[in-house]
């Protein structure tokens, strides 16, 4: 059960994502959280975020923002980027992730979820067996509720860190297998 909360990869920042690793796993698109993943909470896309997003797309990956934030906030962030975006996503609900797959024209096995929160980004992605990438929150200043969630996240991550690399690889392999089979029939995920 706890494994549904474990990311497949845990990195310091989005810039550390190994695009060749993603290619090796047949990943063609990224479902991206904004706040504390790409920029500090509430800020517009800065040069760092824009440069990385451009590089990812130049390398052939599709992108779709999936944020629980308001329409106004997502539009503000997206002004410079102008990429596909879903606001009020209700993560860890899976509907927005499915919508993002539809927008990018990808199968679940071809997309990875990137975010800074276990209970929204990672759990939501894992529910669909998507490849999940957790990054460390950019900004330490967070809302009370998020700070509370971080306490639980810390417990989960300490267990996660005790796992062997072999166990993680096995889990990832299992997830990829499930999707490989399901991808043959999209019906299971469609309406
Ligand atoms: Mg976030």
- Domain residue limits, the chain: 2-188
> What's the CA gap between 161 and 149, in Å, rounded?
18
**In this structure, CATH architecture of domain 2-188:** 3-Layer(aba) Sandwich (3.40)
Q: What are phi and psi of 66, to 5 degrees?
A: -130, 105
Going from the Cα of 115 to the center of ligand 1, the distance in angstroms, rounded, reads 6
For the chain, list the strands marked E by DSSP.
9-11, 29-32, 62-66, 84-86, 111-115, 131-135
Going from the Cα of 35 to the center of ligand 1, the distance in angstroms, rounded, reads 4
Regarding pTM above 0.85, the answer is yes
Going from the Cα of 27 to the center of ligand 1, the distance in angstroms, rounded, reads 21
User: Beta strands 131-135 and 84-86: pairing type?
Assistant: unpaired
pLDDT (tens digit, 0 to 9) for every residue of the chain, 191 residues total? 789 999 999 999 999 999 999 999 999 999 999 999 999 999 999 999 999 999 999 999 999 999 999 999 999 999 999 999 999 999 999 999 999 999 999 999 999 999 999 999 999 999 999 999 999 999 888 888 888 999 999 999 999 999 999 999 999 999 999 998 887 655 544 43
Going from the Cα of 37 to the center of ligand 1, the distance in angstroms, rounded, reads 5
Classify residue 165 by burial, with Cβ atoms within 10 Å: 0-12, 13-18, 19+: exposed
Going from the Cα of 77 to the center of ligand 1, the distance in angstroms, rounded, reads 13
Going from the Cα of 171 to the center of ligand 1, the distance in angstroms, rounded, reads 24
């Amino acid at each position: 059960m706890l494994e549904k909360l474990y990311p497949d990869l845990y990195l310091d920042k989005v810039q550390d994502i190994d695009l060749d690793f993603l290619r090796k796993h047949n990943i063609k698109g990224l479902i991206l959280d904004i706040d504390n993943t790409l920029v500090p909470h509430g800020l517009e896309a800065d040069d760092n975020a824009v440069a990385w997003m451009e590089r990812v797309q130049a390398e052939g990956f599709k992108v779709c923002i999936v944020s629980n934030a308001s329409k106004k906030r997502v539009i503000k962030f997206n002004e410079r980027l102008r990429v596909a975006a879903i606001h009020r996503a209700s993560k860890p609900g899976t509907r927005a992730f499915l919508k993002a797959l539809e927008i990018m024209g990808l199968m679940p096995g071809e997309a990875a979820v990137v975010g800074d929160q276990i209970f929204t980004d990672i759990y939501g992605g894992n529910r669909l067996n998507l490849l999940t990438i957790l990054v460390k929150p950019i900004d330490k200043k967070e809302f009370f509720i998020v700070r509370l969630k971080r306490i639980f996240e810390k417990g989960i991550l300490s267990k996660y860190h005790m796992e062997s690399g072999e166990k993680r690889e096995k889990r990832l392999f299992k997830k990829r297998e499930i999707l490989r089979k399901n991808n043959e029939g999209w019906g299971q995920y469609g309406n």
